[in-house]
Amino acid sequence: MNKSLIVAISLISTGPLCSQGAQPDATKLKADAQKVVSVIKGDKAKTQVYCEILELIDEAEQEENPAKTAELSERIDNLEGKLGPEFITLVHALTDIDAHSQDAHDIRSIIAPLDGSCD
């Protein structure tokens, strides 16, 4: 599975959900995603936090102990705030979009270059 999608899913599932039931504006979401990617890529510390989140997600996927998984989720929650409010807003907005839609695919494509920053 695409790591940027995993990040989005993880943050959605571990963070508080604020769904209003309305389908978000895909054009705005794509613009927001581009802005978030630009902000994170432009800040070395935020890029490191993003990469750390990816590592924790990989670790959580491998973990079989529910207590350890909960601990990893808590660490992810703590790190997500360091990526800024725009990141959190984007992730929460993604809860209202069909994960199999073209818009979701387009947004994943926008976020995917961040993965290349993590080596």
18 domain residue, yes or no = no
45 domain residue, yes or no = yes
62 domain residue, yes or no = yes
Averaged pLDDT, 3-18: 49
To the nearest whole percent, how much of the chain has pLDDT over 90?
Answer: 57
Q: How confident is the model at residue 94 (pLDDT cuts 50, 70, 90)?
A: confident
76 domain residue, yes or no = yes
Distance CA 49, CA 94 (A): 20
* Owning domain of residue 79: 30-117
48 domain residue, yes or no = yes
pLDDT for 31-86, tens place per residue? 999 999 999 999 999 999 999 999 999 999 999 999 999 999 999 989 999 999 99
Number of domains the chain is built from = 1
Instruction: Return the SS3 of 11.
Output: helix
Model confidence at 23: pLDDT above 70: no
Distance CA 97, CA 79 (A): 24
**Which helix (DSSP H) or strand (DSSP E) does residue 100 occupy?**
none
Cite the DSSP H helix spans in 1-119: 3-14, 26-41, 44-62, 66-80, 85-93, 102-111
- Please give the pLDDT value at position 1: 47
